[in-house]
Amino acid sequence: MGFDERLAVLSGRLGDAPDPDDPAEVLAMPIVVRIEKRDPPGRRATLEAAARAAVLLCLDERSDSDGLWGPAVRAWCDARIRKISRRARGAHWEAAQEVGGFTVEQGDAAARAIVPGPVGAVDRRIDRLQIGGTDLDGPLDPAAGAAVTLWVNPGLDMTLGKLAAQVGHGSMLAVRLFDVADARSWWEAGCPLTVAMPSADAWADLLSRDGTDTVAVRDAGFTEVAPGSVTVVAERTDREDAR
C-alpha cells in the first residue's frame, strides 16, 4: 500500500471495462470549477486547477486500496475514464466542498475533483450544477517552468467544460512520463503543471513523439469531438532535454 500502489493504478491500463447495461451505473468523476459572476477567474488558471485536482485526488492517501476513496477510484480507473465538468459560485461552491473530493486553488481560480461514482447517484449538491454556455477569457500561450505541460489541440473547438475534463485526463496520463521517484516528487510538490496551446507545427511534433516522451489523450467521442480525436498531449517539460 502507499504511493507506489496508487501510482501503479493510475499509470496502468485505464478504461478496459465495458460500460454497464444501465446508463445510470456509468462511472464518472465530476469536476467542479469555481466561477464567480462578478470576478471570474482566468481560463488558463481554471484549466490548470481542474487538471491538478483530478490527478491529486487519484494520488491522495485516501485513494489507497484500503482508503476511504480506494474502491471508488479503482472501479473508475478500470472503467472508461469519464469526467463531467460543472460550474459553481457562492453558496453552491461552498456546498460542493462538503462532498468528498480534492480542491485545488490555482492563482485566481479553484476547482474540486469529486470522488468518482455512478452518474445516476451523484450527490444532489453536485448534480444540480451545470456548465453549459460558460466561457472564460485568457490566452493559452506556452509558458516555461512547469514540470508538465498539457498541450491542447489547436485544431479543435472545445468548450470550457470539455477542456476541463480533457486536461484532467491529461494530468492522469502524465504520470506515465515519470519514474517512481520523480512521480513522488511531482506529487509532493502538488503536481505543478501548465496548460498551453501549441502551433500547428509544434502539435504535429508532439503527436510524432506519442508513446516515447509524450502521451496523448484520445477522446471516446461522446461529446463535441469525433471518436479517436486527440484532445490533449501531456509532455514532461522539467528536463534539460525537453523540447
**CATH number, domain with residue 65:** 3.40.1490.10
Residues 6+ apart with CB under 8 A from 110: 33, 34, 41, 49, 93, 103, 104
Whether the pLDDT of residue 243 is over 60: the answer is no
Whether the pLDDT of residue 145 is over 60: the answer is yes
pLDDT for residue 142: 87
Would 202 be classed as within a structural domain? yes
Would 57 be classed as within a structural domain? yes
Would 243 be classed as within a structural domain? no
Would 144 be classed as within a structural domain? yes
Please list the residues that pair with 216 across neighbouring strands.
233
Instruction: Determine the Cα angle at 211 with ends 208 and 215, to 5°.
Output: 90
pLDDT for residue 1: 67
Q: What is the CA radius of gyration of the chain?
A: 17
Would 241 be classed as within a structural domain? no
CB atoms within 10 A of CB 11: 18
pLDDT for residue 241: 53
Residues 99-108 have a mean pLDDT of 96
Domain limits for position 111: 3-236
Whether the pLDDT of residue 87 is over 80: the answer is yes
Q: Is 133 left (phi over 0), alpha (psi -120 to 50) or beta?
A: left
User: Number of folded domains in the chain?
Assistant: 1
Would 220 be classed as within a structural domain? yes
- Could you read off the pLDDT of 179-230 as tens digits, one per residue? 999 999 999 999 999 999 999 999 999 999 998 899 999 988 778 888 889 9
Would 153 be classed as within a structural domain? yes
pLDDT for residue 231: 97
Would 205 be classed as within a structural domain? yes
